[in-house]
Amino acid sequence: MTTSFRMAAILAAATLPTLLGAQQQAPAAAARSIPVSNLRYEITFDSATARRHIIAVAVNFDVRDNGAVLLSFPSWTPGSYEISNFARFVSGFSATAGGKPLDWDKLDYDTWRIEPAGARAVTVRFDCHAVTLDNAAAWSQPDFAFVNGTNIFPYPEGRGFEFPASVTVKTQPGWLVTTGMEPAGTAATWRESNYHDLVDKPFFIGRFDVDSQQVEGRWHRLATYPAGAMAGPARSLIWDQIGKTVPKMAAVFRETPWRTYSTMMVFTREVGGGSALEHSNSHVGIYNPGFIGIPLLASITDHEIFHAWNVKRLRPADLWPYDYSRSQPTPWLWVSEGITDYYADLALVRGGVVDSAGFLGLTGQKMEQTAGEPPTALEDASLTTWIGPVDGSQYLYYPKGSLAGFMLDVLIRDASDNRRSLDDVFRELYGAAYKKGRGFTATDWWSAVSRAAGGRPFTEFYEKYIDGREPFPWADILPRAGLRMTSDTLREPRVGVATGQDSSGAIVVQMVQPGSVAEAAGVKVGDQLLALGDIDVTSPTFGDAFRSRFGKSEGDTLSIRVRRGADTLTLHGTVKLSERVESRLDVDPDASAKAVKVRSGIFRGTTEGQSGR
């Protein structure tokens, strides 16, 4: 098939005026499916498919023309800036028409070519291996699965993304389905008018807890797996935090852009930390159960919800529209991710989830985090994340971009005597770019920033702190917001291991730092850490107790008690002190009246002549 097609292209080329032109056309023509219509995806996840860790998919569609249907899988899920090639999780591919098998082969590694051979209604079936615990992918347990559309909805290659499609979910009686997708009016069926929305509404299928509340006059849904994991006071707490913070985020844009919003959470000890992925009216987070009830969970939740405005709707032009076939690097992740993180912190303080000291604590942590990494330009960190750089800069645009947003907010409020703020920049761009159906450009961004600051130029700011690697000028910025920084250099005992908690609550060594006390003493990855000296490592006050007991004992013997397999061993190390600079951001009691206005404007989300809500 392929060979004969190439022959035809070469023969045709000879008859055309320019050989080059025809050669360029051939591959483009090869990568275009015949038109397909009436696309209906059917996904099955029940206890039988769960046992095989698969989601069974059927794709039904109609064709009119003769020629091949090309179905491709996305190489990434928007928001998760890495190439995943979801086609690799596909197995058991078949294509039939009227129950008879159709010929198919692969055009490239993520494109299937199907020959309908005159048939008008085609069914394609395959299994998606739901084995990846990553919020961009698909994962299953005996009673539960989450899945992103990018993993299970192949699209007709070269035909654009403005086609409607429906999705029907078949599952076990009594199991639930939650998605942000639009109900189609028939049971267990949803419908979207274009492919971008189709792959932007992940599913939870199975046994989990779900309840709903009104937030800002819209239904907000909370789906949590496993059932019972987040109940009682912990569930009330996150609902309370969502209720307090969403209105503060909506106030920035003066619009709540969704009909319903779904917060979807998976709790599992298979992850040590927590991460989440945004969508236009939902997000999926995967967290260690230790996140339940702690402020960090509210902060991540707010970050993802703020993304519904910033990046899902207001988006850099490089990401508009999404291209699923290749990476889409952009120098703007410091705005799309970093400043989203700034607004997550602002939502917490403006909504009263943390007080102003809590907000300054979070900001101070970001300063410390940024200071510990090699100087990296925000634009470079944004562009490079796709390839997973090993120099520590892969996710630097989060804390450092958040701080850049904080600086811009201070500079705009300072220049306008707190009459304008970074909120005005976002509101203006939301109207001028997103509402006009396009992404924002560098000119859009910097002219909006400059306008908000009364015409102050930001060229030098951009060259030094966004495109450049200069340290942020806190000595100039902080006084404008009535804040100051104090730094202490601490000398602390450090053992040099990274640990995690297993399902029994045991502290298990996950990494031993080269050259550390632990390495010299013979601690190994997989050891269960029991005690350092006579201090039990599972004690809630372990950190303080350890620092006060060994903080002045450089060179003393340190016994390290571990369980290795069936044995309990006592290893011997030497106490080593390491320097750590602790920076604290706090309120300057001697701030000018103007700076106090700026500071309280940031904390409350207000400007002069406009009150917060």
Helix, strand, or coil here: 604?
Answer: helix
Task: Pick the stretch among 104-112, 285-293, 335-343, 493-501 that binds Zn ion (CB under 5 A).
Answer: 335-343
Burial of 478 (0-12, 13-18, 19+ CB in 10 A): buried
Identity of the residue, 333 or 360, whose beta carbon is nearer to Zn ion in the bound complex: 333
In this structure, is the dihedral angle defined by the CA atoms of residues 336, 475, 607 and 425, taken in order, positive or negative? negative
Q: Is 567 in contact with 558 (CB distance < 8 Å)?
A: no
Identity of the residue, 42 or 337, whose beta carbon is nearer to Zn ion in the bound complex: 337
Identity of the residue, 337 or 380, whose beta carbon is nearer to Zn ion in the bound complex: 337
Among positions 33-92, residues that touch Zn ion (CB under 5 A) are none
Q: Distance (Å, rounded) from C-alpha 395 to C-alpha 407?
A: 19
Residue choice 337, 379, 380, 444 for contact with Zn ion (CB under 5 A)? 337
Q: Is 338 in contact with 398 (CB distance < 8 Å)?
A: yes
From the CB of 307, what's the least distance to Zn ion, in Å?
5
From the CB of 304, what's the least distance to Zn ion, in Å?
7
From the CB of 535, what's the least distance to Zn ion, in Å?
38
From the CB of 401, what's the least distance to Zn ion, in Å?
10
Identity of the residue, 191 or 312, whose beta carbon is nearer to Zn ion in the bound complex: 312
User: What 8-state DSSP symbol labels residue 541?
Assistant: T
Identity of the residue, 156 or 331, whose beta carbon is nearer to Zn ion in the bound complex: 331
Residues 6+ apart with CB under 8 A from 416: 452, 453, 454, 607
Identity of the residue, 337 or 409, whose beta carbon is nearer to Zn ion in the bound complex: 337
From the CB of 276, what's the least distance to Zn ion, in Å?
8
User: What 8-state DSSP symbol labels residue 34?
Assistant: P
SS3 for 127-176 is: EEECECCCCCCEEEECCEEEECHHHHCCEECCCCCCCCEEEEEEECCCCE
From the CB of 283, what's the least distance to Zn ion, in Å?
9
From the CB of 395, what's the least distance to Zn ion, in Å?
10
Pairing outcome for strands 203-206 and 144-147:
antiparallel
Pairing outcome for strands 260-267 and 218-225:
parallel
Identity of the residue, 72 or 299, whose beta carbon is nearer to Zn ion in the bound complex: 299
Q: Count other C-beta atoms under 10 Å from residue 555's C-beta.
A: 9
Task: Pick the stretch among 10-18, 330-338, 408-416, 444-452 that binds Zn ion (CB under 5 A).
Answer: 330-338
By beta carbon distance, the residue nearest Zn ion is 337
Identity of the residue, 337 or 423, whose beta carbon is nearer to Zn ion in the bound complex: 337
From the CB of 378, what's the least distance to Zn ion, in Å?
15
Residue 150's nearest CA partner among 139, 137, 163, 166 is 137
Q: Distance (Å, rounded) from C-alpha 136 to C-alpha 204?
A: 13
Q: Write out the DSSP string of 445-486.
A: HHHHHHHHTTT---HHHIIIIISS-PPP-HHHHHHHTTEEEE
Identity of the residue, 82 or 586, whose beta carbon is nearer to Zn ion in the bound complex: 82
From the CB of 180, what's the least distance to Zn ion, in Å?
17
From the CB of 204, what's the least distance to Zn ion, in Å?
20
Identity of the residue, 107 or 277, whose beta carbon is nearer to Zn ion in the bound complex: 277
Task: Pick the stretch among 337-345, 423-431, 452-460, 526-534 that binds Zn ion (CB under 5 A).
Answer: 337-345
Q: Is 262 in contact with 180 (CB distance < 8 Å)?
A: yes
Q: Distance (Å, rounded) from C-alpha 426 to C-alpha 609?
A: 19
From the CB of 337, what's the least distance to Zn ion, in Å?
5
Identity of the residue, 86 or 397, whose beta carbon is nearer to Zn ion in the bound complex: 397
Q: Distance (Å, rounded) from C-alpha 37 to C-alpha 69?
A: 11
Tokens 């100039």 found at: 476
Task: Pick the stretch among 12-20, 135-143, 336-344, 411-419 that binds Zn ion (CB under 5 A).
Answer: 336-344
Task: Report if residue 345 touches Zn ion, rule: CB under 5 A.
Answer: no
Identity of the residue, 337 or 414, whose beta carbon is nearer to Zn ion in the bound complex: 337
Retrieve residue 204's tokens: 């939870």
From the CB of 79, what's the least distance to Zn ion, in Å?
7
Size of the site for Zn ion (CB under 5 A): 1
- Continuous segment of H or E residues that includes residue 96: strand 90-97
Residues at the interface with Zn ion (CB under 5 A): 337
